[in-house]
């Protein structure tokens, strides 16, 4: 079943803010929260993440029914990519080196920003590219 495209973009906007605050403050605890949000989205799909729940419960009733849909697999894959970067960032902020935490968090922030502002999901595009390559290889 396809999902409302506004949900992942809302999640990306919240993620952008969270990761920006992590870079400003260096808060490993806040990055741990974002890591958990990525893990839930990667494991159960974007609708199972805290930001997906917030969109569904608080935002979607106020913005009306969706007019655009997308397959759930690419955003779920993107959550997995975000999870990897968040884990690397968390390792950098907690055990060092700090520059690794900043770099990994900055990369995740850039990807979230692209999705939130321009609707370009870097993780989704990676998923679709890998899928095309795998299909051709068969």
Residue 15 near residue 83, CB atoms below 8 Å: no
CA distance 133 to 50: 32
| Structural domain boundaries, residue 21 | 3-137
Domain count for the chain: 1
pTM of the model: 0.94
pLDDT tens digits, 100-127: 999 999 999 999 999 999 999 999 999 9
Query: For 70, phi and psi rounded to 5 degrees?
Result: -145, 160
CA distance 132 to 110: 25
pLDDT tens digits, 88-102: 999 999 999 999 999
Q: Where are the alpha helices (DSSP H) in the chain?
A: 6-25, 28-44, 50-54, 60-63, 73-95, 98-118, 122-137
Share of the chain above pLDDT 70, in %: 100
């Amino acid at each position: 079943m396809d999902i409302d495209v506004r949900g992942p973009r809302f999640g990306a906007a919240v993620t952008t803010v969270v990761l920006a605050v992590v870079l400003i403050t260096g808060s490993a605890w806040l990055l741990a929260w974002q890591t958990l949000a990525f893990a839930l989205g990667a494991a159960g799909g974007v609708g199972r993440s805290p930001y997906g729940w917030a969109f569904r419960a608080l935002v979607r009733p106020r913005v009306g029914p969706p007019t655009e849909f997308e397959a759930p697999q690419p955003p779920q894959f993107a959550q997995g990519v975000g999870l990897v970067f968040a884990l690397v960032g968390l390792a950098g902020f907690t055990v060092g080196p700090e520059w690794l935490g900043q770099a990994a968090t900055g990369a995740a922030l850039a990807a979230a920003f692209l999705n939130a502002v321009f609707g370009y999901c870097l993780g989704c595009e990676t998923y679709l590219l890998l899928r095309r390559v795998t299909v051709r290889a068969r």
